[in-house]
């Protein structure tokens, strides 16, 4: 599963050290280090975290992330796992999860799926709910343990029912794709809906696609457009072109025979964003085709202001 790490935030791990002694002190001791990390001053941040690592579990965890992500140094998964083990033994939930990954993948040590499952369980008990889905994957696939699809789904469902949007997203993909798990498009759509309502942009995009295509229920183009544009507005690039397509398929105005001005502007905005961000030639070509059609009816005087909006959006959500 792809992970995104942001300086300073660190997956909210500061709030997850409730099990460690004196969590406020743990964070206070790292205030300067966190500031350096937020400023992307990786050499100084590393030195400050290392200075605290002998007694601070969050520092141990963060040093693991330095080596895992290659922040200011070469990636070294083995060293990262060594730090995650230290922090996991001090009950940092995300470290418990990552240490489980290290054991499951055999990074710098032999593969040990049962031990990994044990650590996923500890991480989930300490608040890292998505660990239940990671454990569930192994039961669903029968990897390192006896295959038990029902048990695997039950574990991930437990996390979803505890309001974990990533768990809801995981379940939705299982039920939509029908790989290792019986396909259930209606249930997939509900899972995407639940995660979308919690602000998960990937779920918002997938829900919009299912609503537009009538997968798992009747088509609903209005709601499809709402969710796709919600994801697009949050910078989720795969939603740009589908949003433009739905606007381009809207009904024309009876009095003019063309789309409403607001729709023309939206199509231009989202096709421009799609052209800028898509890494698929066929998507860029489709965006250019739709944009060319819009430009035959959209006043040229609109373009400077719309281009500024596109630039501001792309700058805000730059990679």
Q: How many CB atoms are located within 10 Å of the residue 125 CB?
A: 15
| CATH code for the domain defined by 1-128 | 1.25.40.10
Entry pTM: 0.86
Which residues fall within 8 angstroms of residue 208, CB to CB, at 6 or more apart? 223, 224, 225, 226, 227, 228, 231, 239, 242, 243
Q: Which tens digit of pLDDT belongs to each residue from 284-305?
A: 999 999 999 999 999 999 999 9
User: pLDDT-derived band of residue 26, with 50, 70 and 90 as boundaries?
Assistant: low
Going by pLDDT thresholds of 50, 70 and 90, the confidence category of residue 27 is confident
Residue matched to tokens 């008990």? 125
- Find the mean pLDDT for residues 179-201: 97
Domain boundaries, the chain: 1-128, 246-319
Summarize pLDDT for 94-126 with one digit per residue, the tens.
999 999 999 999 999 999 999 999 999 999 999
Which SS3 state, helix, strand or coil, does residue 280 take? coil
Q: Give the pLDDT confidence of 217-269 residue by residue, as tens digits.
A: 999 999 999 999 999 999 999 999 999 999 999 999 999 999 999 999 999 99
């Amino acid at each position: 599963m792809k992970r995104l790490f942001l300086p300073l935030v660190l997956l909210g791990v500061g709030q997850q050290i409730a099990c460690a002694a004196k969590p406020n002190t743990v964070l206070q001791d790292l205030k300067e280090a966190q500031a350096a990390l937020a400023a992307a001053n990786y050499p100084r941040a590393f030195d400050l975290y290392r200075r605290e690592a002998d007694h601070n579990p969050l520092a141990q965890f963060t040093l693991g992330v330095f080596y895992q992500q290659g922040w200011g140094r070469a990636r070294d998964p083995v060293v990262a796992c060594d730090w995650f083990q230290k922090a996991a033994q001090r009950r940092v939930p995300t470290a418990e999860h990552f240490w489980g990954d290290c054991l499951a993948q055999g990074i710098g040590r032999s593969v040990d799926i049962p031990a990994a499952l044990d650590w996923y369980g500890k991480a989930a008990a300490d608040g890292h709910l998505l660990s239940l889905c990671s454990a569930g994957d192994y039961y669903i696939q029968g990897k390192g343990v006896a295959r038990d699809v029902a048990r695997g789904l039950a574990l991930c469902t437990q996390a979803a029912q505890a309001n974990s949007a990533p768990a809801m997203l995981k379940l939705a993909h299982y039920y939509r794709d029908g790989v290792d798990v019986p396909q259930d498009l209606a249930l997939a759509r509900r899972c995407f809906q639940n995660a979308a309502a919690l602000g998960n942009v990937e779920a918002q995009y997938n829900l919009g696609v299912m609503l537009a295509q009538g997968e798992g229920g009747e088509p609903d183009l209005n709601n499809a457009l709402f969710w796709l544009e919600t994801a697009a507005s949050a910078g989720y690039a795969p939603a740009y072109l589908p949003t433009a397509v739905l606007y381009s398929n809207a009904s024309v105005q009876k009095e003019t025979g063309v789309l409403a001005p607001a729709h023309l502007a939206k199509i231009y905005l989202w096709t421009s964003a799609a052209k800028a961000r898509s890494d698929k030639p066929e998507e860029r070509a489709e965006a250019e085709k739709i944009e060319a059609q819009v430009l035959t009816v959209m006043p040229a005087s609109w373009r400077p202001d719309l281009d500024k909006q596109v630039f501001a959006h792309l700058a805000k959500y730059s990679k």
